[in-house]
Amino acid sequence: MNSISVSIVLISCLVFTSHYNAQVIVNYNTDNSPLPFNTVRCIESHDNAIWVGTETGLAQFQNEQWQIYNSGNSELFSDNVRSLKSDGDSLLWIGTMQGGLFCFDGATWTNYNYANSGLTDNIVRSIEIDHNANIWMATTEGIFMYDRINWSHWNMQNNNLQTNNINDIQVGFQNQKYVGTTNGGIIYFDSLNYFTEYTIMNSGLPDNSIIDIELDQYGQPWFISPAAGLIQDTDEGGPWVIYNNTNSGIPSNSLNCIEMNGDELIIGSQLSGLIIKNDDSWSYINSANSDLPDDHILSLKKDLNDNIWAGTYDGGLCKISFDNGQHTSQYKSIHIYPNVIKAGQSIHFNKPYTGNIKICNHLGALILEDELNHQETFTIPIGYKTGRYYITLTQKENVLTEPLMLH
């Protein structure tokens, strides 16, 4: 390596891990309640009730009472419910696996499918309502929009989308739409419905598959990848901030869903239960440290009382009441300094450190890994390209991560 002068800026962004103190986890399943199936695909808070979509019907839960709707007792002739969206206090929109889109006003069911409407796909994975009351749908045949009179359709054939396989849609604060796809990256629609696609090739997005999207309190979108972890967009199409199992407290990159709880991000995973990101702290609720019955989380929803409802793959429905959102970090005493160093110089720990150290690039790819034994310093190698990196320290279950900027 040549002796170029490289400086590294350590940005103060500590990541701590801890166990989240949940007050109560109440589990509803087919053994202890009328819940029709233990696989819960979607959850919605509507008309002071919790609505639950399963593969064998729709369940309404209110005041400890259940009402089940299915093909045997209602006009919901498709039992496999995949998406739910509340439309004010009166209407509930229901997306199904083979029956298209349903609208329920509490008494009357209206169905839209490929035979009677402009919806040419009967698989509705996600439903959103924009600021103009238009209904947006994610399907396996592209994106549909229903203005309650006419239908619009975006797909590979008529709009040159990268894929027709659409997973999720989220409406932004300025009425823009964020769309997650399978193998087509992310699609952004502006308020006039002109769209731009962002992929690995044209934007550095770490994964072309996005299965869930949520906005934080500032309107910034967060994306869930089934393989690359958690992704934050900082400026409408990148640069992307990536959190994964090599540069953060995320234990596994296999994630399914996300929900906001104030400043916190509640993340549902395929293998590790619930992951909670609170600023720079990471906490966990799983079957090993709580009453969570299943670590495979499919769906999340926050209700009007700030409870988090989690749908699992095989454990039914869980209501989680948090202890005022407070938890205690177990790893706040380790610090890295100075903030700026040159290549070949050493970072310092405020006390002797024993454990694993990793350096990753901005995509989370591992560049360097080493084991330290009671060391107070670590020399940063020279020769890395200019850009954003991460240093991660791991001691048993405790993780600390600091971003690095190479200049």
Spell out the domain ranges in the chain.
7-13+331-406, 22-322
Nearest to 318 by CA among 46, 43, 82, 68: 43
Which pLDDT tens digit goes with each residue over 284-298?
A: 999 988 899 999 999
Which has more pLDDT, 131 or 8?
131
CA angle 53, 232, 129 (to 5 degrees): 40
**Predicted pLDDT of residue 37:** 98
Within 8 A by CB and 6+ apart from 314, the residues are 38, 39, 294, 296
DSSP state at residue 291: S
Which pLDDT tens digit goes with each residue over 262-315?
A: 889 999 999 999 999 988 888 899 998 889 999 999 999 999 899 999 999 999
Q: How confident is the model at residue 138 (pLDDT cuts 50, 70, 90)?
A: very high
pLDDT > 80? residue 13:
no
pLDDT > 90? residue 331:
no
How far is 10 from 339, CA to CA, in rounded Å? 5
Which pLDDT tens digit goes with each residue over 232-262?
A: 998 888 889 999 999 999 999 999 999 999 8
295 — phi, psi (to 5°)? Answer: -85, -5
Strands 255-261 and 240-243 come out as unpaired
How far is 272 from 285, CA to CA, in rounded Å? 8
Architecture of domain 22-322: 7 Propeller (2.130)
Residues 167-187, mean pLDDT to the nearest whole number: 97
Q: Can you read off the two tokens belonging to residue 170?
A: 């989220």
What pTM value is reported for the model?
Answer: 0.78
How far is 386 from 343, CA to CA, in rounded Å? 12
How far is 389 from 9, CA to CA, in rounded Å? 10
Same fold, 7-13+331-406 and 22-322: no
Least confident range of 121-125, 147-151, 320-324: 320-324
**Predicted pLDDT of residue 340:** 59
**Residue corresponding to tokens 């739409």:** 177
- What does 59-107 look like in DSSP terms, one character per residue? EEEETTEEEEE-TTTSS-----EEEEEEETTTEEEEEESSS-EEEE-SS
How far is 257 from 233, CA to CA, in rounded Å? 17
**Residue corresponding to tokens 């997306």:** 95
Q: Residues 243, 248, 250, 251: is their CA dihedral positive or negative?
A: positive
% residues pLDDT > 70 (the chain)? 85
7-13+331-406: CATH number: 2.60.40.3080
Whether the Cβ atoms of residue 245 and residue 255 lie closer than 8 Å to each other = no
**Predicted pLDDT of residue 17:** 45
**Predicted pLDDT of residue 177:** 97
pLDDT > 90? residue 115:
yes
